[in-house]
Structure 1
Amino acid sequence: MAEPWDAIIVAGGRGSRLGGVSKPALVVGGRTLLDRALDAVAGAAGVVVVGGPRAEGARWTVEQPEGSGPAAAVAAGMAELARDRRPAPVTVVLGVDTPRAGDAVPALLAVAGPERGAWLVDAEGFAQQLLAAYPTPALAARCSADLAGSSLRRLVDGIPMAEVPSTDDLARDLDTSDDEDYWKGRLG
């Protein structure tokens, strides 16, 4: 995709399945998950981190009320991107806990555009809403309501999306200590 694109990194959450560990600060392969996510979206025209720590070179915001879930986080990110500029035609939405997002983002952008987005589909056939490139107009239109407690699946339902098959664990995230062990073994 040659068109400009924006990115929202969803970095909040309690990390409860990891015993309360801050996922953005978790080190895998010598780098924090937040640094990996920021590297994955380095080509974006605008980057917003929602929740988690502030990062140099990226805007920061938090969903309202704080902790109200990924749909509200995406809405907060969209609002921040549009605050003082016109958003790009495509918006990548990325969960901070996807260690190989840097390999997935180019594949998503190769398929996505302002009329149709793309998301990674894991080996079980599940679409990964937090590893996707959405058409900004369609996503923004859905972010105008109060989304506290709403699911991300409900937020993006009906947006035309292409499926990009996940290969070599691109869609595998890091939610549990078993996932942490897997990624530390795989990425060093």
Structure 2
Amino acid sequence: MDHPPASTDLCAVLLAGGTAARLDGVDKASIEHRGRTLLEHALAALVDAGEVVVVGEPVPTSRPVTFTRESPRYGGPVAGLLTGRDALARRPRLLGVLAVDMPRVTAATFRRLQEAAEGRDGAFLADADGRRQLAGVLDLARLDAVRPDLEVQHGMAMRALLADLDLADVPAEGDEARDVDTWTDLRDLGD
């Protein structure tokens, strides 16, 4: 089903930092799948976002983005999300968040997330077991309202940050929720 383009009131933070310890420290964003880097797959999923901040090492991209590093460095996804949020030039109504290692997430995924977030504080993709994945949209004002102090952000779990928000869980279609944490995960993605 074709969906109309999402509102330009969406900006996004693409989480591409981290140590990738189970991938021998290789930069996940630069790993190729189907002839494109994981970073390019993620940027394609965020095509409807008016602005994208990539939290990770600067590399050439197919579209203009802003690069930043999380503070504190290697502070985890909450530190990355909030650092990326602070690097936005715009103040959108909705903020998308996506981990770079989810190449099966598409623009259609984000359109479903936006639809599910209407009237709520946001929506996140959920795997077959009901676990939330690092693919979602958040009402920016509500995110700002639950934002912890800087010293608490380091190592904070995303579920702790989002615990007080009214979030919709959007069931993954097919293998949208698959991520690449190991070389075996990459191999098992297939074509």
* Matched residue, 1:125: 130
Is 1:48 matched with 2:34? Answer: no
Q: Is the 8 A contact 1:49 1:55 kept in 2?
A: no
Is 1:105 matched with 2:110? Answer: yes
Give CA-to-partner distance per residue, 1:34-73, whole Å, 9 cap, x none. Answer: 0111111111111100113345400111111211111000
Distance 2:13 2:95 in 1: 7
Which sections of structure 2, spanning at least 5 residues, go unmatched? Answer: 1-5
Distance 2:68 2:49 in 1: 17
The structure 1 residue matched to 2:143, chosen from 139, 143, 149, is 139
Give CA-to-partner distance per residue, 1:65-103, whole Å, 9 cap, x none. Answer: 21111100011011111xx43x11111100000011114
Q: Is the 8 A contact 2:114 2:137 kept in 1?
A: yes
Q: TM-score, normalised by structure 1?
A: 0.89
* Matched residue, 2:186: 180
Distance 1:163 1:25 in 2: 29
Which sections of structure 1, spanning at least 5 residues, go unmatched? Answer: none
* Matched residue, 1:96: 100
Q: How does 1:29-68 map to 2 (within 5 A)?
A: 29-56=34-61, 57-68=64-75
Task: Report the CA distance between 1:110 and its aligned residue.
Answer: 2.0
Distance 2:93 2:59 in 1: 25
Q: How does 1:159-170 map to 2 (within 5 A)?
A: 159-170=165-176
Distance 1:99 1:24 in 2: 10
SS of the equivalent of 2:97 reads strand
Distance 2:120 2:68 in 1: 27
Distance 2:45 2:55 in 1: 16
SS of the equivalent of 1:43 reads coil
Task: Report the CA distance between 1:32 and its aligned residue.
Answer: 0.2
Q: Is the 8 A contact 1:5 1:91 kept in 2?
A: yes
The structure 2 residue matched to 1:6, chosen from 7, 11, 35, is 11
Fraction of identical pairs, as percent: 36
Q: Is the 8 A contact 1:10 1:93 kept in 2?
A: yes
Q: For the structure 1 residues 104 and 156, does the alpha-carbon distance in structure 2 shift closer, same or farther, using more than 3 Å as the test?
A: same
One-letter amino acid of the structure 2 residue matched with residue 62 of structure 1: R
Q: Is the 8 A contact 1:5 1:89 kept in 2?
A: yes
Distance 2:136 2:181 in 1: 18
Task: Report the CA distance between 1:114 and its aligned residue.
Answer: 6.7
Task: Report the CA distance between 1:116 and its aligned residue.
Answer: 2.6
SS of the equivalent of 2:116 reads coil
